[in-house]
Amino acid sequence: MDVEEVIGEVLAKIRPSEEERAFVEGLMKELEETAMETIESLGLDVKPYFVGSLAKDTYLAGDHDVDLFLAFPLDVPLERLREEGLKLGEAIGERLDTYEIAYAEHPYVRARYRGVKVDLVPCYDVRDWRDVKTAVDRSILHTKWVNENLNGRNDDVRLFKRFLKGIKAYGSEIYVRGFSGYLAEILVIKYGSFLDVVEKADFILRQKVVDPENWLKKEPELAMKTVKRETGEGKPLVVIDPVDPRRNVSANLGWEKYGRFYFKSMAFLKGPSLEFFFPQEKPVRSYLSELKKRRTVLVTLVFDVPDMVDDLLFPQLEKSARGFEKALSREGFNVLGWNVGKSEKAFIMLELDRSERERVKLKPGPEFFTKRGRDFYEKNTKVWLIGKRLYSEKRVKESVVEVILELLENNQVALGKGIREAVKGADILLNYVPKELEKEAYLFLSREKWNLKD
Amino acid sequence: MDVEEVIGEVLAKIRPSEEERAFVEGLMKELEETAMETIESLGLDVKPYFVGSLAKDTYLAGDHDVDLFLAFPLDVPLERLREEGLKLGEAIGERLDTYEIAYAEHPYVRARYRGVKVDLVPCYDVRDWRDVKTAVDRSILHTKWVNENLNGRNDDVRLFKRFLKGIKAYGSEIYVRGFSGYLAEILVIKYGSFLDVVEKADFILRQKVVDPENWLKKEPELAMKTVKRETGEGKPLVVIDPVDPRRNVSANLGWEKYGRFYFKSMAFLKGPSLEFFFPQEKPVRSYLSELKKRRTVLVTLVFDVPDMVDDLLFPQLEKSARGFEKALSREGFNVLGWNVGKSEKAFIMLELDRSERERVKLKPGPEFFTKRGRDFYEKNTKVWLIGKRLYSEKRVKESVVEVILELLENNQVALGKGIREAVKGADILLNYVPKELEKEAYLFLSREKWNLKD
- A54-91 pLDDT, tens per residue? 999 999 999 989 999 999 999 999 999 999 999 999 99
Nearest-angstrom CA–CA distance, B211 and A341:
70
Which whole number is the average pLDDT over A177-190?
A: 97
In terms of CATH architecture, what is A15-137? 2-Layer Sandwich (3.30)
HSE (CB half, 13 Å, CA atoms) of B130? 2
Residue A306 has pLDDT above 80, yes or no: no
In terms of CATH architecture, what is B16-139? 2-Layer Sandwich (3.30)
Interface of B with A in 386-415 (CB under 8 A): 386-388, 390, 393, 398
Cβ B295–A357 below 8 Å, yes or no?
Answer: yes
Q: Give percent above pLDDT 90 in chain A.
A: 91
HSE (CB half, 13 Å, CA atoms) of A384? 15
Mind spelling out the 3-state secondary structure of chain A? Answer: CCHHHHHHHHHHHHCCCHHHHHHHHHHHHHHHHHHHHHHHHCCCCCEEEEEHHHHHCCCCCCCCCEEEEEEECCCCCHHHHHHHHHHHHHHHHHCCCEEEEEECCCEEEEEEECCEEEEEEEEECCCCHHHCCCCCCHHHHHHHHHHHHCCCCHHHHHHHHHHHHHCCCECCCCCCCCECHHHHHHHHHHHCCHHHHHHCHHHHHHHCEECCCCHHHHCHHHHHHHHHHHHHCCCCCEEEECCEEEEECCCCCCHHHHHHHHHHHHHHHHCCCHHHCCCCCCCCCCHHHHHHHHCCEEEEEEECCCCCCHHHHHHHHHHHHHHHHHHHHHCCCCEEEEEEEECCCEEEEEEECCCECCCEEEEEEEECCCHHHHHHHHHCCCCEEECCEEEEEEECCCEHHHHHHHHHHCCCCCCCHHHHHHHHCCEEEECCCCHHHHHHHHHHHCCCCCCCCC
Which whole number is the average pLDDT over A117-138?
A: 93
Q: How far is CA A50 from CA A123, A228, B105, in A?
A: 12, 34, 96
Q: In the prediction, which pLDDT does B308 show?
A: 82
Q: Give percent above pLDDT 70 in chain A.
A: 100
Nearest-angstrom CA–CA distance, A19 and A64:
13
Q: Which residue of B has its CA nearest to A363?
A: B336
Quick check: do A15-137 and A150-276 share a fold?
no
- Does domain A150-276 sit in CATH 1.10.1410.30? yes
Interface of B with A in 227-266 (CB under 8 A): 236, 255-256, 259-260, 262-263, 266
How large is the ipTM? 0.85
What are B281-327's pLDDT values in tens digits? 888 899 999 999 999 999 999 999 878 888 889 999 999 999 999 99
Q: Which residue of A has its CA nearest to B375?
A: A263
Q: In the prediction, which pLDDT does B146 show?
A: 98
Cβ A447–B259 below 8 Å, yes or no?
Answer: no
Q: Match domain B287-357+396-445 to its CATH number in 3.30.70.590, 1.10.8.640, 2.60.40.10, 3.30.497.10.
A: 3.30.70.590
Which whole number is the average pLDDT over A376-402?
A: 94
Q: Which of A429, A401, A424, A398 is nearest to A411 (CA)?
A: A424
Q: A294 and chain B: CB distance < 8 Å anywhere?
A: yes
Nearest-angstrom CA–CA distance, A367 and A449:
49
Confidence category of residue B55, pLDDT binned at 50, 70, 90: very high
Rounded to a whole number of angstroms, the distance from the CA of A291 to the nearest CA of chain B is 10
Rounded to a whole number of angstroms, the distance from the CA of A204 to the nearest CA of chain B is 11
Confidence category of residue A105, pLDDT binned at 50, 70, 90: confident
What are B189-233's pLDDT values in tens digits? 999 999 999 999 999 999 999 999 999 999 999 999 999 999 999
Confidence category of residue B173, pLDDT binned at 50, 70, 90: confident
Confidence category of residue B170, pLDDT binned at 50, 70, 90: very high
Residue A303 has pLDDT above 80, yes or no: yes
Residue A106 has pLDDT above 90, yes or no: no
Residue A305 has pLDDT above 90, yes or no: no
Nearest-angstrom CA–CA distance, A55 and A51:
5
Q: In the prediction, which pLDDT does B169 show?
A: 96
Parallel, antiparallel or unpaired: strands B209-210 and B238-241 = parallel
Q: In the prediction, which pLDDT does B298 show?
A: 98
Nearest-angstrom CA–CA distance, B337 and A364:
13
Measured between beta carbons, the chain A residues lying within 8 angstroms of B353 are: 332, 357-358
Cβ B388–A447 below 8 Å, yes or no?
Answer: no
At residue A19, φ and ψ (nearest 5 deg) are: -60, -45
Confidence category of residue A370, pLDDT binned at 50, 70, 90: very high
Q: In the prediction, which pLDDT does A117 show?
A: 96
Residue A425 has pLDDT above 90, yes or no: yes
Cβ A296–B358 below 8 Å, yes or no?
Answer: yes
Q: In the prediction, which pLDDT does B1 show?
A: 83
pLDDT, chain B, mean: 95
What are B403-453's pLDDT values in tens digits? 999 999 999 999 998 899 999 999 999 999 999 999 999 999 999 999 998
Measured between beta carbons, the chain B residues lying within 8 angstroms of A354 are: 354, 358
Q: In the prediction, which pLDDT does B359 show?
A: 92
Which one of B354, B358, B375, B394 makes the best mutation probe of the A interface by having the most chain A beta carbons within 10 Å?
Answer: B358
Cβ B384–A332 below 8 Å, yes or no?
Answer: no
Greatest C-alpha distance within chain B: 88
Residue B234 CB burial class (10 angstroms; 0-12, 13-18, ≥19) = exposed
Residue B104 has pLDDT above 90, yes or no: no
Q: In the prediction, which pLDDT does A174 show?
A: 85
Nearest-angstrom CA–CA distance, A370 and A363:
17
Q: In the prediction, which pLDDT does B343 show?
A: 85
HSE (CB half, 13 Å, CA atoms) of A61? 13
Measured between beta carbons, the chain A residues lying within 8 angstroms of B325 are: none
Which whole number is the average pLDDT over B261-287?
A: 94
Q: Which of B305, B380, B390 is nearest to B348 (CA)?
A: B305
Mind spelling out the 3-state secondary structure of B62-130? Answer: CCCCEEEEEEECCCCCHHHHHHHHHHHHHHHHHCCCEEEEEECCCEEEEEEECCEEEEEEEEECCCCHH
Q: In the prediction, which pLDDT does A309 show?
A: 80
Please report, as a single letter, which amino acid is at residue B254. G
Q: In the prediction, which pLDDT does A196 show?
A: 97
Of the two residues A311 and B345, the one the predictor is more confident about is B345
Q: Which of B62, B25, B69, B76 is nearest to B47 (CA)?
A: B69
Residue A104 has pLDDT above 80, yes or no: no
* Residue A249: count of CB within 10 angstroms of its CB: 26
Residues in chain A: 454
Residues A69, A139 contacting (CB under 8 angstroms): yes
At residue A300, φ and ψ (nearest 5 deg) are: -120, 125
The residue ranges of every structural domain in chain A are: 15-137, 150-276, 287-357+396-445, 364-394
Residue B137 has pLDDT above 90, yes or no: yes
Q: In the prediction, which pLDDT does A220 show?
A: 96
Q: In the prediction, which pLDDT does A283 show?
A: 86
Confidence category of residue A287, pLDDT binned at 50, 70, 90: very high
Chains A, B: CB contacts under 8 A, how many? 128
B303 bridge partner residues:
B346
Q: Which of A192, A187, A310 is nearest to A253 (CA)?
A: A187
Q: In the prediction, which pLDDT does A135 show?
A: 85
Which one of B269, B292, B350, B368 makes the best mutation probe of the A interface by having the most chain A beta carbons within 10 Å?
Answer: B368
Q: Which of A130, A28, A137 is nearest to A85 (CA)?
A: A137
